[in-house]
Amino acid sequence: MADPGRTEVTGPGPVPVPALFDEVVGQPRAVGQLMAAARRPVHAYLLHGPPGSGKRAGARGLAAALLCPQGGCGECNTCRRALAGTHPDLVVVERTGASLDVDEARAIVVRAQRRPLEASRQVLVVTDVHLAVKSVPALLKTVEEPPPATVFILLADDLPPTLATIVSRCVLVPFDPVPDAAVVDWLMARGVERAHAGSVARASGGRLDRALLLISDAGFVARQDQWRSVPSRLDGTGAVAAEVSNELLTSVDEGLAPLRELHSQELATLAEQAEQVGARGIQGRRQVEDRHKREERRWRTEDLRFGLAILSGMFRDRLVAVTESGPTSVTPGGAGESHRAVRQIEAIDHASEALGRNVNESLLMDALMVALSGMTE
Ligand SMILES: [Zn+2]
């Protein structure tokens, strides 16, 4: 509570959150938990929440705190290297294939037994544990009771029931989707102007990785306008419905360009690394490409859902307008119009739900546009 006798804060005062968690955006609860963990660490943490919510940054911050001789000053050489991911006692394990396999899990077990090289502890960060279903048994005992100088930080997008045994051995640190306002501030600190930051934040679904891709997506604004133009374009004919559906899907494809660019950079880096060690090609190339395909699919689904949300918002506005004009107004067909808007919103919501279930996008969008079209009269 503010002291009424004091109108302004004088002097810099103590900074409660050290630079360790600067990169964790809009997650006060998780940061609070991580700071408490840094003071009294246990053997294993499980940071879980949607992709792009800051789990990796949180893990690096906690690792810095655990490795720093001063408990995480945020400034010393140890902190800086831990935050940059280059400290030798911070080991980040990334799966090479579609999931963490048993051999990789065994390598983690071996690594956990080693002595730290510089610090008084070593920190093992294991990413994508939600996909490590088959290797859970191999990891379980070590995560449950690692050597005293080893701390595990596991990261998972979600917690499937198959992970229950591991989950019960860790302190859970939940991450939420990043709130829109925090995404906006974060983007503005990167030089994005407010209005654009606002629409990117809404389209990001609380994911910073997606927000970053959207700001480098030249067609983002045009794509939103395209969705907004749908209701006025549908004229009741099947031909126009098909044309609109086709255009929407084409521009979702075009929006994939920044992600594809990121993927080809990753493959180029891997190829370079393989060449340096004299390997004949990228090890597990197939799996990397499969992951890229999955990420592209997820991008498309999210982008289509965002577009559908814009569309649904327009019909909702229409419904509100019709309802507010009320029964006293003599709008011809007023009741019919509100009924129609409700059915249009339902059709869009249905399509949006179906998108997550491996449907044929093109058929789904065609059917939706035809349905909406039939409701325009
Ligand atoms: Zn430090």
Distance 78 CA to ligand 1 centre (A): 6
Closest CA to 138 of 99, 182, 172: 99
Ligand 1 centroid vs 85 CA: distance in angstroms? 14
Q: How many whole angstroms from 57 Cα to the centroid of ligand 1?
A: 16
Please tell me the distance between residue 250's alpha carbon and the centre of ligand 1 in angstroms: 50
Q: How far apart are CA 45 and CA 3, in angstroms?
A: 38
Tell whether the model's pLDDT for residue 20 goes beyond 90.
yes
Q: Is the pLDDT of residue 287 over 90?
A: no
**Distance from the CA of 151 to the center of ligand 1, in angstroms?**
17
Kindly state the average pLDDT of the residues 61-83: 94
Distance CA 105, CA 94 (A): 11
Helix (H, G, I), strand (E, B) or coil at 122: strand
Ligand 1 centroid distance, CA of 28 (Å): 21
Phi/psi region, residue 359 (left: phi>0; alpha: psi -120 to 50; beta: rest), is: beta
Sign of the CA dihedral with 126 first, then 130, 131, and 137 last: positive
Distance 294 CA to ligand 1 centre (A): 38
CA of 68 to the centre of ligand 1 (A): 4
Q: Which residues pair with 174 in a beta bridge?
A: 48
Q: Cα(229) to centroid of ligand 1, in Å?
A: 54
Distance 12 CA to ligand 1 centre (A): 20
Using one digit for the tens of pLDDT, what is the confidence trace for 87-131? 999 999 887 666 788 888 999 999 999 999 999 999 999 998 998
Maximum Cα interatomic distance, the chain, rounded to a whole number of Å: 81
Distance (Å) from CA 123 to ligand 1 centroid: 15
Q: Calculate how far, in angstroms, residue 41's C-alpha sits from the geometric centre of ligand 1.
A: 16
Say if residues 64 and 72 touch (Cβ distance below 8 Å). Answer: yes
Helix and strand tally (H, E) in the chain? Answer: 16, 5
Is the per-residue pLDDT at 9 higher than 50?
Answer: no
Mean pLDDT over residues 128-139, rounded? 87
At residue 326 the predicted structure's pLDDT band, cuts being 50, 70 and 90, is low
What is the layout of strands, in order, in the sheet containing 150-156?
Answer: 90-93, 122-126, 150-156, 44-48, 171-174
Mean pLDDT lowest among 69-83, 329-343, 357-371: 329-343
Q: What is the DSSP string of 184-239?
A: HHHHHTTT--HHHHHHHHHHHTT-HHHHHHHHT-TTHHHHHHHHHTHHHH--S-HH
Q: Which residues contact 345 (CB under 8 A, 6 or more apart)?
A: 312, 315, 316, 319
Centroid of ligand 1 to alpha carbon of 375 (angstroms): 63
Residue pLDDT, tens place only, 204-213: 989 999 999 8
The predicted-structure confidence for 27-60, as pLDDT tens digits, reads as follows: 999 999 999 999 899 999 999 999 899 999 999 9
Q: Which two tokens stand for residue 100?
A: 């963490």
Contact partners, residue 25, CB within 8 Å, separation at least 6: 54, 178, 182, 183, 185, 186, 208
Give residue 111's identity as a one-letter amino acid code. Answer: R
Ligand 1 centroid vs 171 CA: distance in angstroms?
24
What does the pLDDT read at residue 16? 43
Q: How far is the CA of 82 from the centre of ligand 1 (A)?
A: 9
C-alpha 15 to ligand 1 mean position (Å): 15
- Ligand 1 centre distance from Cα of residue 23 (Å): 16
Average pLDDT, the chain: 87
Q: How far is the CA of 137 from the centre of ligand 1 (A)?
A: 35
42 CA to centre of ligand 1 in angstroms: 19
In this prediction, residue 4 carries a pLDDT of: 38
Question: How far apart are alpha carbons 369 and 242 in whole angstroms?
Answer: 7
DSSP state at residue 16: S
pTM of the model: 0.74
Residues 287, 293, 297: CA angle, nearest 5 degrees? 145
CA-CA distance, 159 to 129, in Å (whole number)? 9
Can you give the C-alpha Rg of the chain in angstroms? 25
Q: What is the mean pLDDT of residues 271-285?
A: 82
In the structure, what pLDDT confidence band is assigned to residue 375 with cuts at 50, 70 and 90? low
Is the pLDDT at 14 greater than 50? The verdict is no
Going from the Cα of 50 to the center of ligand 1, the distance in angstroms, rounded, reads: 29
User: How do strand 90-93 and strand 171-174 relate by DSSP bridges?
Assistant: unpaired
Q: Which residue has the tokens 């604004």?
A: 221
Who wins on pLDDT, 290 or 367? Answer: 367
Give me the percent of the chain exceeding a pLDDT of 90. Answer: 59
Ligand 1 centroid–CA 20 distance in Å is 9
Tens-digit pLDDT profile for residues 247-263: 999 999 999 999 999 99
At 288, which amino acid appears? Answer: V
163-177, 235-249, 278-292, 318-332: the lowest-pLDDT one: 318-332
Measure 223 CA to ligand 1 centroid, in angstroms: 45
